[in-house]
A and B are shown apart, each in its own frame.
Chain A
Amino acid sequence: MSEDHSFLDVRDLRIHFRTDDGLVRSVDGLSFRLERGRTLGIVGESGSGKSVTSLGILGLHNKRNAQVSGEIWLEGAELVNSPPEAVRKLRGRKMAMIFQDPLSAMHPYYTVGKQIIEAYRVHNNVSKAVARKHAIDMLGRVGIPQPARRVDDYPHQFSGGMRQRAMIAMALSCDPELLIADEPTTALDVTVQAQILDLMRTLQHEFNSALIIITHDLGVVAELSDEVLVMYGGRCVEFGPATTVFDRPEHPYTWGLLGSMPRLDRGVTDRLLPIAGTPPSMINLPSGCHFHPRCAYEPRTGGLGRTVPPELNRAGGGSHLVRCHLPSDERQRIWSQEVKPKLEAQ
């Protein structure tokens, strides 16, 4: 029980899954903090543990096959060791989640209005009429036209963007202080994407909620986040303010991410710079630094990368942290002299 708590304080979170093939270490020692009104972007490739983390915060893992250890402090209450019933009462009310595919994430047999009403009434003892009015309100606030009519429509009767708005309305119906958005725009058209991101920013300001955006899309991260957390192999490999991480990244993986991002201001015929190798097996993670088999700079660690897991250490300045054996000045030098020119030359 520590005094100095942020609104959300995740400490050394480990989420392991027991499978027939072995122990899957999806999240292996993750720590971060988040204040109200701030946005954290969590980036990483498939299987890096991003979604598992978010589900873990909400307590949605099945106790039978998931081992969750560590601490999750939400406004002074520790969630990992709380009874499930207590965590359930917080879900939807204090912390809510928006999912990637709103068509599959909403029940196809109930109207949108009914599902929002349900979300509202589970935490608020009001009549159906009051809840319905609130649902119409919410639909209006997320920018759905004619909300009084659309409240009785089914999810499949909405377009993709409107559906995601409805999902957001449902998630926000109880004024949660923590909102987690798991790939909120991945299933949407680019134009709609921008609208949704805009909406989320507006609502965050309105509700003063803490927002975690989980995505593999660096553009989305850049748009919304105050801070960025790069995950690899179940751990944080780089953390810092968004501008810092994008301008002066210091982890080889982050360099790779930035390099493999298609950009409009680059030549169309130029090739992308993918990261060599494949994502690691979460059961048999590489020894030492999890990234070492794919790291072009591993030889420069003098064998450390292969044997010793690196700790988070300070980068450039401020709250910028990087998990790498290379010294920070070495990393900065590699960035500015080797990687950055290559990216700009494309």
Chain B
Amino acid sequence: MKRRLVVGVAAGVALALGLSACGGGTSSSNNQGGSSGNANAPAFNAAVGKVFNPSDKKGGTMKFAISSDWDSTDPGDTYYGLSWNLVRLYTRALTMFKVVPGTGSQELVGDLAEGLGESSNGGKTWTYKLRQGLKFEDGTPITAKDVEYAVSRSLEKGTLVNGPFYFNDFLDLKGYKGPYSSKGQDNPAIDTPDDHTIVFKLKKAYGSFDYFAMLPSTAPVPQGKDTGVKYKEHPVSSGPYMFQSYSAGKAFTLVRNPNWDQATDPNRKALPDQYDVTIGANADDIDNQLIAGSYQVDLAGTGVQPAALSRVLGDPNLKARADNPGSARLWYTAINPEVAPLNNIECRKAVMFAADKTLYQQAYGGPLAGGEIASNLLPPIIPGHQKLSVYPPGQDNKGDVAAAKDALQKCGQPSGFSTNLSYRAERPKEKATAEALQQSLGRVGIKLTLKAFPTGDYLALYAGKPSYANGNKLGLMVYGWAADWNDGFGFLSQIIDSRTIRASGGNSNLSVHVPEVDKMIDQAVAETDADKRNQQWSAIDKRVMEEAVVLPGVWAKSVTLRGTQATNVFVNEAFGQYDYMAMGLQ
């Protein structure tokens, strides 16, 4: 009986494995019919730098899905790139990135505003003029006061906890806390001389305020309809679509906003009739449904799961539906100068020289699914990016052992040294990175003890808390960072400005405290000329690299799939994702 049982089970398992192989074959063969007969023949990367399947056809229900929820659908309370991408369907900010593929999207254009802002007062005052004929979803006109209210309420970080801090930090608020905490008071930093004009007054000069104006926090909110924390259940639409239904953490549906006037909106085509967004779906199932055609986009925009990746890359039909966009994200390892012997720059240089970057890239999934080997901080998609060569790890990126050993000599540790490396336990790619570094640095005698920490507390209690990181000798800390928007400030400000470091923990800047860099940041912030500014940020990049406190790993890329029925698909480089607002249906 036992023997037969074992045979039976073995047969069953074999059958099941065979079925899984069959399952793959069945779905891919279903796709052959769908992709032929298009104006654009599908090809790998057909949506990067150009529009795949351009169309003006209106109609249909667009189905989006995502496996884990983002912070909020309230435009004043959100900080996820995908949310800033999606929010343009139901809100309009003062400015927006140009809705085109390629580098054109680096340019900001007016959305609610007729054009970009006018600066005066040496960059401390910014004025915007709103377009005519703007209406909310209920027909009431949108005025500058609604934009002022939106920005004011977004200051209330005690209630709307998720959004960015730029307005809190830069506006000259004079103690004003927001409409909830400073009830009845007027916001001294924002003036609305008439219904179509809004003026922002800053504490200190900021040359690229148009980026702040792009933030969803500037999307107008009618004060009478503000419900605070509950506003996300039905944000009042200023865009082409409005909420029909909302179920927290589960799904929501957007339908056409009858009071949106195409004539006031040159940036949006508004092709589908309806958007169905499913939240919390199983990640592998999303990929399977993407392949089968029931979902058109995975909103996360970080690429297909490992299970589907090999299928996509291995099947020519599926690969032709895939794109490999880069995003403004760097995976890197901080080198902590507070932990001996890394307080000596030569020891830090040794780490930079010895690291095998090809292994780093492999850990994140290789050149396609992981990204490009990073030689410095600013990702390629950021204007002003240059490929630098500071303490390079050899020509082949596999590590320069000789240079490393030389540096070790100079810092007085000729046979190497020991230190700890931290990474986030729930991220297998970071674990693989840790092991890769352990291996490559071990070649020159740098012995790493790997320590895993829970993701939720990584910044709050461990790597991001100076007393813990230094006290527990975390010499190397694996981390990653994505830009708030694609410019030097949007990418670098949080991770290299030493003045953002707090003793209480929660820091994103894990290792950079260089006073010279702080000064250079202030300079770049005040600069109004874009080109000059970009050069300054590049110089800051170089200076940080020279300090050898950051070991750049990979500029992230992902392998994403286009839906079978999606038209007008292209990667909006401002988000590093498909432009969710521009797509239509066949």
* Touching chains A and B, CB distance < 8 Å: no
Measuring CB to CB, which residues of chain B are less than 8 angstroms from any residue of chain A? none
Measuring CB to CB, which residues of chain A are less than 8 angstroms from any residue of chain B? none
